[in-house]
A and B are shown apart, each in its own frame.
Chain A
Amino acid sequence: MTETPVSKPGQTEVWITGIGLATSLGEGLDANWAALQDKRINVDENGFAPYVVHPLMPVSFDSQIPKKGDQRQMEAWQRIGTYAAGLALDSAGIKGNKDILSKIDMVVAAGGGERDLNVDTGVLTAEAKGANAPGFLNERLMSDLRPTLFLAQLSNLLAGNIAIVHGLGGTSRTFMGEEVAGADAARIALARIASGESDIALVGGSHNGERKDLLVLYEFGDFNLKDKFAPVWARKERAGFALGSAGAFLVLESKAHAEARGAKPFARLASVVADLARRKQPGEMAATLEKLWAQLPKREGKGAIITGATGAEPATSEERGFLKRHTDFPVRSTGTMFGHTMETQFPLGLALAALSISRGALFPPNDSTGTEIEMQGAPTQIVVVGAGHWRGEGMALVEAVS
Chain B
Amino acid sequence: MTAPRDKLGRPVVVVTGMGIMTSLGAGKADNWSKLVAGESGIRTITRFPVDGLRTTMAGTVDFVSVDPFSSTALSERMAELVTQEALDQAGIGAKGDFPGPLFLAVAPVEVEWPQRRELGRVVGKLDFNYDDLLRISGGGKFTAYHHRFMFGSVAAHLAEAFGTKGSPISLSTACASGATSIQLGVEAIRRGETDAALCVATDGTVNPEALVRFSLLSALSTQNEPPQAASRPFSKNRDGFVMAEGAGALVLESYEAATARGAKILGVIAGCGELTDSFHRTRSSPDGKPIIGCMKKTLADAGMEPGQIDHINAHGTATPENDKMEFNTTSAVFGELVQKIPVTSNKSMVGHTISAAGAVEAIFSLLTLEHQRIPPTINYETPDPTILFDVVANTARDARVTAVMSNSFGFGGQNASLILTREPA
Of A51, A145, A191, the contact of B212 (CB 8 Å cutoff): A145
Q: Quick one: CB contact mask for A358-402 with B, threshold 8 Å, 1 for yes?
A: 000000000000000000000000000000101111100000000
Determine whether the beta carbon of A170 is less than 8 Å from that of B173: no
Of B131, B145, B165, B191, the contact of A197 (CB 8 Å cutoff): B191
Least Cβ distance of A191 to chain B in Å? 6
Determine whether the beta carbon of B276 is less than 8 Å from that of A172: yes
Listed residue (A111, A155, A195) with the most chain B CB atoms within 10 angstroms of its CB: A155
Q: A121-B128, A160-B411, A220-B142 are in contact. Are A391 and B156 (CB under 8 A)?
A: yes
Determine whether the beta carbon of A124 is less than 8 Å from that of B116: yes
> What residues of chain B lie closer than 8 Å to A388, measured between beta carbons?
152
Least Cβ distance of B354 to chain A in Å? 11
Determine whether the beta carbon of B166 is less than 8 Å from that of A176: no
Q: Which residue of B lies closest to A2 (CB)?
A: B165
Q: Quick one: CB contact mask for B150-193 with A, threshold 8 Å, 1 for yes?
A: 11100110011000011111111110000010001001100101
Check: A156 CB closer than 8 A to any chain B CB.
Answer: yes
> What residues of chain A lie closer than 8 Å to B119, measured between beta carbons?
124, 216
The CA-CA distance from A177 to B413 in the complex, in Å, is 22
Determine whether the beta carbon of B130 is less than 8 Å from that of A173: no
Q: Quick one: CB contact mask for A163-179 with B, threshold 8 Å, 1 for yes?
A: 11001111111111110
Of A120, A181, A195, A393, the contact of B130 (CB 8 Å cutoff): A120
Q: A168-B278, A213-B130 are in contact. Are A141 and B125 (CB under 8 A)?
A: no
Check: B412 CB closer than 8 A to any chain A CB.
Answer: yes
Determine whether the beta carbon of B110 is less than 8 Å from that of A112: yes
Determine whether the beta carbon of A141 is less than 8 Å from that of B173: no
The CA-CA distance from A131 to B334 in the complex, in Å, is 56
Determine whether the beta carbon of B126 is less than 8 Å from that of A134: no
Of B155, B209, B212, the contact of A177 (CB 8 Å cutoff): B155
Q: Quick one: CB contact mask for A191-228 with B, threshold 8 Å, 1 for yes?
A: 11001010000000000000011011111111110000
Q: A3-B166, A133-B51, A151-B282 are in contact. Are A157 and B171 (CB under 8 A)?
A: no
Residues of A103-140 whose CB lies within 8 A of B = 106, 110-112, 115, 117, 120-121, 124-125, 127-129, 133-139
The CA-CA distance from A385 to B402 in the complex, in Å, is 47
> What residues of chain A lie closer than 8 Å to B89, measured between beta carbons?
none
Check: B134 CB closer than 8 A to any chain A CB.
Answer: yes
The CA-CA distance from A276 to B102 in the complex, in Å, is 11
Q: How many residues of B contact A (CB 8 A)?
A: 87
The CA-CA distance from A187 to B150 in the complex, in Å, is 21
Q: Quick one: CB contact mask for B259-285 with A, threshold 8 Å, 1 for yes?
A: 000000000000000111111111000
Q: Which residue of A lies closest to B49 (CB)?
A: A134
Choose, from B26-34, B80-88, B213-221, B304-312, the stretch at the interface.
B213-221
Q: Quick one: CB contact mask for B196-219 with A, threshold 8 Å, 1 for yes?
A: 000000000000110011111100
Determine whether the beta carbon of A177 is less than 8 Å from that of B170: yes
Q: A138-B51, A154-B174, A169-B275 are in contact. Are A177 and B127 (CB under 8 A)?
A: no
Least Cβ distance of B49 to chain A in Å? 4
Determine whether the beta carbon of B151 is less than 8 Å from that of A181: yes
Q: Which residue of A lies closest to B216 (CB)?
A: A147
Determine whether the beta carbon of A142 is less than 8 Å from that of B278: no
The CA-CA distance from A28 to B214 in the complex, in Å, is 37
Of A110, A129, A390, the contact of B150 (CB 8 Å cutoff): A390
Check: A161 CB closer than 8 A to any chain B CB.
Answer: yes
Determine whether the beta carbon of A176 is less than 8 Å from that of B108: yes
> What residues of chain A lie closer than 8 Å to B133, measured between beta carbons?
121, 124, 212, 216
Check: B68 CB closer than 8 A to any chain A CB.
Answer: no
Least Cβ distance of B373 to chain A in Å? 34
The CA-CA distance from A5 to B173 in the complex, in Å, is 24
Q: A138-B51, A216-B137, A219-B137 are in contact. Are A156 and B152 (CB under 8 A)?
A: no
Apart from A156-B410, A217-B146: 5 A-B pairs, beta carbons within 8 A: A1-B165, A5-B194, A156-B411, A171-B275, A181-B151
Question: Can you list 5 contacts pairing A with B, beta carbon distance less than 8 Å?
Answer: A115-B110, A181-B151, A181-B152, A191-B187, A212-B130
